[in-house]
């Protein structure tokens, strides 16, 4: 049975979020691959590359065998992500495909009612895409003079969520760390 369909955006897959003096990408980076021997070699030479920018991950469950299976379907075109609908196989895919369409912009061919599910009908863009601005495109508020909700351009300033300073103090001194012989 189909348990879930999750949209995936691989825009910055395999790239560290930021670089520091001590290269955090050699330790705790997401979506990187060190090779088969798991050595401490630099990750830039061995990055994983997905088949496309967008994909749909289908979570399947076998009730009789109590086993789970994840199936990924990659969209062939990054500019217009399109996949075939699986509603004919699993009727429960209806809302999951609408959610992936609304949040990621993946179009499911053959879906009987592909429209927005979680965002407003006038919403511009797809908020779960990696290139969608964190502050959004428009903001809405209730205008008592007009007696309705009005949409306006965003008035807040974007901010950077990355640390501005990286301290080089005794936490990073090699002689103060525990030795392996202890």
Predicted confidence at residue 59, as pLDDT, reads: 97
Residues spanned by the domain of 32 = 2-176
Domain assignment present for residue 181? The answer is no
Global pTM reads 0.65
Domain assignment present for residue 153? The answer is yes
pLDDT tens, 80-132? 999 999 999 999 999 999 999 999 999 999 999 999 999 887 788 899 998 88
Tell me, what CATH number does 13's domain have?
3.30.460
Average pLDDT across the chain, whole number: 79
Contact call for residues 8 and 57 (beta carbons, < 8 A): yes
Domain count, the chain: 1
Domain assignment present for residue 50? The answer is yes
Going by C-alpha positions, the residue among 115, 125, 109, 129 that lies closest to residue 53 is 129
Distance, CA of 30 to CA of 58 (rounded, Å): 22
């Amino acid at each position: 049975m189909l348990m879930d369909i999750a949209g995936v955006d691989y825009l910055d897959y395999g790239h560290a979020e930021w670089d520091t003096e001590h290269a955090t990408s050699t330790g705790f980076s997401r979506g990187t691959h060190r090779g088969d021997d798991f050595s401490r070699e630099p990750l830039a030479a061995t990055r994983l590359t997905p088949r496309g920018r967008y994909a749909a991950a289908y979570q399947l469950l076998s009730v009789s065998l109590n086993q789970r299976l994840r199936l990924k379907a990659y969209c062939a075109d990054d500019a217009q992500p399109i996949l075939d609908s699986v509603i004919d196989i699993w009727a429960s895919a209806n809302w999951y495909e609408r959610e992936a369409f609304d949040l990621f912009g993946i179009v499911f061919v053959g879906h009987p009612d592909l429209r927005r599910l979680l965002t407003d009908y006038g919403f511009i863009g797809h908020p779960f895409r990696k290139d969608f601005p964190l502050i959004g495109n428009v903001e809405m508020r209730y205008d008592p003079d007009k007696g309705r909700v009005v949409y306006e351009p965003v008035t807040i300033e974007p901010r950077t969520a990355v640390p501005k300073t990286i301290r080089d103090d005794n936490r990073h001194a090699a002689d103060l760390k525990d030795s392996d012989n202890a």
